[in-house]
Amino acid sequence: MGAIADAMMRYAQPLVDTCDGSQEELQKSYMLAQLCWNAALVPEATRAEYLAEMRTAFNMNDEEYLDFLQNVVEPMVQRHHEMFPEMRVKGATALSPASSAPLIKTEKKYPGTGRNEPCPCGSGKKYKRCCGR
């Protein structure tokens, strides 16, 4: 398994531990883990709105929803913040458009060269496959 899958499995473990081991319960545990993972990436200011949409989808009454928030979502969001602190960037989240920018800014070796043009270094490759990487 890849590193991302391993991390997701470790993250979901508390929810998996509470299920009875049936395929249906395991799927539910992983689905809830994914929901909580996503909730952890949503800015706190909009998290309640995001979770309110889940309430409608799960058809929960007020009591069930509060119990779900306190006993599932909040602990799992906290777990995410503890396990993956690097995913929390001040002022941005992994789901925000600003975070889709590269973490390391690189300068073009040959400014003004188009991605699909031949590389100016003379390799015969397209710029994007050579010095544009």
User: For the whole prediction, is pTM greater than 0.85?
Assistant: no
Mean pLDDT of 73-96: 74
pLDDT digits (tens, 9 = 90+) for 10-32: 999 999 999 998 999 999 999 99
**What's the CA gap between 80 and 62, in Å, rounded?**
25
Phi, psi of 51 (to 5 degrees): -70, -30
- The set of residues, in sequence order, having a beta carbon less than 8 Å from that of 121 and lying 6+ positions away, is 109, 110, 130, 131
pLDDT digits (tens, 9 = 90+) for 40-69: 998 888 888 888 887 877 888 889 999 999
What tokens were used for 51? Answer: 């979770």
pLDDT digits (tens, 9 = 90+) for 92-122: 444 444 444 444 545 667 778 888 888 888 8
